[in-house]
Amino acid sequence: MKRVILLLGAAAVVVSGCSTPGFNKRSDLVAEPSACAPKQFEVYFADSEAALTAPARQAIAMTATQLQGCDIRKVQVIGLADARGGAEANLSLSQRRALAVAEALTAAGWPSPVFEVGAAGDAGAEAGGGVNEPMRRRTEVLIDAAPRS
């Protein structure tokens, strides 16, 4: 046990004597990530609904605020639905969900020409054993953002 403690003490002395030339501060080694970077977030909906919930509006507002001043190059909005209901109804619901999110982001000041709005309906909504996956009641938002030049 004494040997282990002595070895650890000796290692600490050796390591404390090490330094990296040219780097004296943490900020020299670590750069803050840019707020203007690609992001992804999800907006969840109530069962069979395309209206934005209060938490959905908060997520959209927070992301819009984070990316203020950024160059928004492209925004993909993909609506999804669970496996309940028919394929046609689910596709329509997915489209309405995607449009609701895209409209909210446009209202927040994002440029509408950069939007790609799509819908997947209930494709892939089955989670093993035929159980519906409630997490499919959402819209995925993928944002390509960069600092303005």
Q: At which residue do the structure tokens 């927070």 appear?
A: 62
User: Which of 14-28, 76-90, 93-107 is predicted with the least confidence, judged by mean pLDDT?
Assistant: 14-28
Higher pLDDT, 54 or 130: 54
Region of 69 please: left (phi>0), alpha (psi -120 to 50) or beta.
left
Give tens-digit pLDDT for 41-83. 999 999 899 999 999 999 999 999 999 889 999 999 999 998 8
pLDDT score for 10: 47
What's phi and psi for 122, nearest 5 deg? -100, 10
Task: Select the more confidently predicted residue: 52 or 130.
Answer: 52
* pLDDT of the residue at 73: 93
Does 88 map to a domain? yes
- Domain carrying residue 119: 34-147
pLDDT in tens, 2-22: 554 544 444 444 445 555 556
**Do the domain assignments include residue 10?**
no
> Is residue 29 in some structural domain?
no
CATH number at residue 124: 3.30.1330.60
pLDDT at residue 7, as a whole number: 44
Taking the chain, what is the end-to-end CA distance rounded to the nearest angstrom? 60
9 within domain boundaries: no
Specify if 139 maps to a domain: yes
Query: What is the predicted pLDDT for the residue at 124?
Result: 56
3-state helix, strand, coil in the chain (%, to 5): 40, 25, 35
Instruction: Identify which of 80, 85, 122 has the alpha carbon closest to the alpha carbon of residue 101.
Output: 80
pLDDT value, residue 2: 53
| pLDDT score, position 149 | 79
- The arithmetic mean of pLDDT across residues 91-97, rounded, is 94
Based on the structure, what is the number of domains in the chain? 1
